[in-house]
Structure 1
Amino acid sequence: MTKEKPRAGYTLPVFAAASSIAALQWLKQRQPIASVKVNLVNPAESVEIAIEQVSGISENTALAITRSDPGDNLDMTRNTPVWALVELSTGVGKQENSLIQNSVPNSKLTGEFPATQITLKGGEGIGRIIEAEGKAAIYAYARQLLQVNLTQLLTPEEKITVTIILPEGRQLADRTSNAAFGVVEGLSLLGTSGISHPLSASSQLDLSLEELREKIKKLNNSSLPPCPSAPLPPCPPALVFCIGENGLHFATKLGVSPERLVKTANWLGPMLVEAGAQGVREILLFGYHGKLIKLAGGIFHTHHYLADGRQEIFTAHCAKLGLPTSELQRVFAELTADAALNYLRDCDRENGSNWVEQVYQSLAQAIDDRTQTYIYNQIQQQVSVGSVLFDRQRQIIVKSKIGTKQLNQLC
């Protein structure tokens, strides 16, 4: 039997654009709309996106809804509704319209498209960027996608206000580390492409491993210093395994050379083993604590669809250190790792204790030990593994002993 190739899907900005197009078309045509064509811009192709519902709200306002389809990815936004509320008005002057054709979306944020016919807003479920005074977390590609697709539907005298809404966005955001990078209250419309490649599908692991091999090959030929504690030369420089895009961004901001950074997503186990097999002798695990905690319990594929024992692992380390039973019960009952961390922080403030330091040092040591053992059991190679865990406020919670040494050498 021939194994089917994993199916690609589309990123959230594509569905936001499709909903916006449908709402605008309804205002102009007043007819049922089953699907719309969206110019993806990147890649340079158009695709057909199904419209779940579209309806007028008032004479000049319409609402359209699509459903996110990321393809064969383990993506928490699968089937989430994406709404666009479009309000149409007239009266844009010729001088303003001349600026539309030459305008370029801001490289990072959105509020309004400067001097254009399109005002873009983030409604319920769209995250807010703390460092940008709470502006909507709708980034450059999403802005460009909306402008390219909507401008061509407008006459020179028309003007629209588009509000993107993710009804489930706030709830879904609680399962991400977005807040660690300053995005709160919802999800981001983020990305550089309209295609959602199924990199989280198991059949795509080979691609991630090949990228790791290429990274190591380049490091072997680079001028970067080798890992200082390597027992036997030659050895490539130390690698930093960043858990997802957030870890990659934070590590770069701290000054780690991009040549050393490896984005691992959830493929930690196979990626760690492959790095060891390729001769790497030092690895720093750098990530959001809610992900890395799983490694302390021996879980080496970190996607929550496959395994999630964070609260159990966290509570076990609290118990090992002697946290009172009543407080253990409270920690175990918390719904997220962040909530458990904040509860311990409250305990420390109220009682003058240092449970956070004790528990996270214990977790970090367990992460290092379990990871080193995992690699050795697979390939009988000793690899020095350190860990750095950070919270949602971009603050490092803990560095293991090995991790402290490694980070000091890398930054």
Structure 2
Amino acid sequence: MDKPLRTGRTTGTCASAAAMAGVRFLLAGERPGTVDVPLPPGGNLAVPVERLEPLDGAVRVTVLKDGGDDPDVTHGHEIQAVVRAKPGDGPLRVVLDGGKGVGRATLPGLPVAVGEAAINPEPRKQIEAAVRRAAKEFGGRILVTIEVPEGETLAQATMNPRLGIVGGISILGTQGIVKPYSHASWKATIEEGLSVARAMGLDHAVFTTGRRSERFYLERHPDTPPQALIQAADFFEFALRAAAAHGFRRVTWAVFFGKLVKQAQGLDSTHAKDHPVDFALLAERCREAGCAPALLPAIREANTAVQVLGMLHDDPALNGLVHLLVEKAREAAEERTGKLCAVLYTVFDFDGRPLAEVSPRPTP
């Protein structure tokens, strides 16, 4: 029996825990080993406190990010809160900012305004709720600065530089917990990328399935604005619906042959584990395109799209097959945009050689 996958905690929850522990130390002298952090949808999560360091008039609390069985680039790294309490008259006011290793927005279209620390709206509310719970009846101001010591280095492995978030990572998390393989953070990155591109006046989004397809596309189209490039991975339906919702009227998919085959099947997601290639259908497409009949039985029994492409390497009908698959994929793509976007395809073999580059139909 498979071992159950372990959930983790978001950077927003880690920051909330650190802030909460800091408030309890300053106001009550406590050194909690764990804190019960309020989660955005409701409920609590017990989060261990790694370290607590008193400062001059403040405290620095460290919590380790734990991504569970779906770790991201921040997994295992320190998320910190530097907390200060300023007693005063009137109700409690929580002042939140980002420090070392937390990025700042420099482009419009993000969930935070230009110039603000990249602490997204839901984590902001979560951190404030945690502080207020710990502060109880305290009156005055509590100042919280979120820091990530390795954040500037970690950010280079994220989409933040392209999104105009400079100096570090973003503090994220709409649910407070990380569900293994939920892909929520990747979907959020797609949304943010599209939002930034539209805020910059772009009306053409280029979806790639990863860094390699992006690199191959840029080699052919070096003048493409960086913000137009969105790594959409396997999220075929989600990315297209999001593009239409953001007002894009042209979309390019830069894909390898295997992803094209799956998109031509009309799959909402092209993930290898849960959405396999239909080799019987692919063999039928090969027959329609005029591929050698003798190859069809082997195509039906193939294990990978790479294998099929190798079989067809010298078949003169390969070009026709690729264009047929593009048409099927484009029909599926445009349907998912509500026919609001015209779709273009650039297709590569597995070494990056172009198999096809198909222009869009006129914009609907």
| TM-score, structure 1 normalization | 0.52
Q: Tell me if 1:165 matches 2:153.
A: no
Counterpart Cα distance in 2 of 1:23 and 1:194: 19
User: Does the C-alpha gap of structure 1 residues 134 and 13 become closer, same or farther in structure 2, counting only changes over 3 Å?
Assistant: same
Matched, 1:6 2:29: no
2:130 paired with 1:149: yes
Q: Does the C-alpha gap of structure 1 residues 366 and 156 become closer, same or farther in structure 2, counting only changes over 3 Å?
A: closer
Separation in structure 1 between the aligned mates of residue 94 and residue 194 of structure 2, nearest angstrom = 36
Please report the RMSD computed on the Cα atoms of aligned residues, expressed in angstroms.
3.6
CA offsets 1:71-107 (integer angstroms, 9 cap, x no match):
110411111100100011111x33xx2xxxxxxxxxx
For the structure 1 residues 38 and 74, does the alpha-carbon distance in structure 2 shift closer, same or farther, using more than 3 Å as the test? closer
Contact 2:15/2:79 (8 A) holds in 1: yes
The letter of the residue matching 1:161 is L
Q: CA deviation at 1:170?
A: 0.9
C-alpha separation between the residues in 1 aligned to 2:194 and 2:130?
A: 35
Residue number among 146, 165, 180 corresponding to 2:162 in the alignment: 180
Question: In structure 2, what is the Cα distance between the partners aligned to 1:18 and 1:401?
Answer: 50
1:100 aligns with: none
Change (3 A) 1:5 1:62: same
Q: Quote the Cα distance in structure 2 between the aligned partners of 1:9 and 1:3.
A: 18
Aligned residues: 244
Q: Give the match's secondary structure for 1:152.
A: helix
Q: Which runs of 5+ in 2 are unaligned?
A: 108-112, 199-204, 221-225, 227-251, 265-276, 286-323, 330-343, 348-355
Partner of 1:270: none
Deviation track 1:16-45 (CA, whole Å, cap 9, x = no partner) reads 000111111111233432111111131x11
How far off its partner does 1:371 sit? 4.2
Number of the residue aligned with 1:75: 72
Q: Is the 8 A contact 1:23 1:55 kept in 2?
A: no
Q: Is the 8 A contact 2:208 2:255 kept in 1?
A: no
2:325 to 379, 383, 394: 383
Give the distance between the partners of 1:62 and 1:290, measured in 2 at CA.
41
Q: CA deviation at 1:247?
A: 3.1
- Residue by residue, what CA displacement relative to the aligned partner does 1:208-267 show, whole Å, maximum 9, x if unpaired? 9xxxxxxxxxxxxxxxxxxxxxxxxxxxxxxxxxx7433344457878xxxxxxxxxxxx
- 1:206-355 to structure 2, matched below 5 A, reads 244-251=187-194, 286-287=207-208, 290=211, 292-293=213-214
Unaligned stretches of 5+ residues in structure 1: 98-115, 202-207, 209-242, 256-283, 297-312, 319-337, 339-363, 390-399
Deviations 1:156-180 (CA, angstroms, capped at 9, x unpaired): 4232110000111111111111232
Letter in 2 for 1:181: L
Bigger proportion of residues as helix: 1
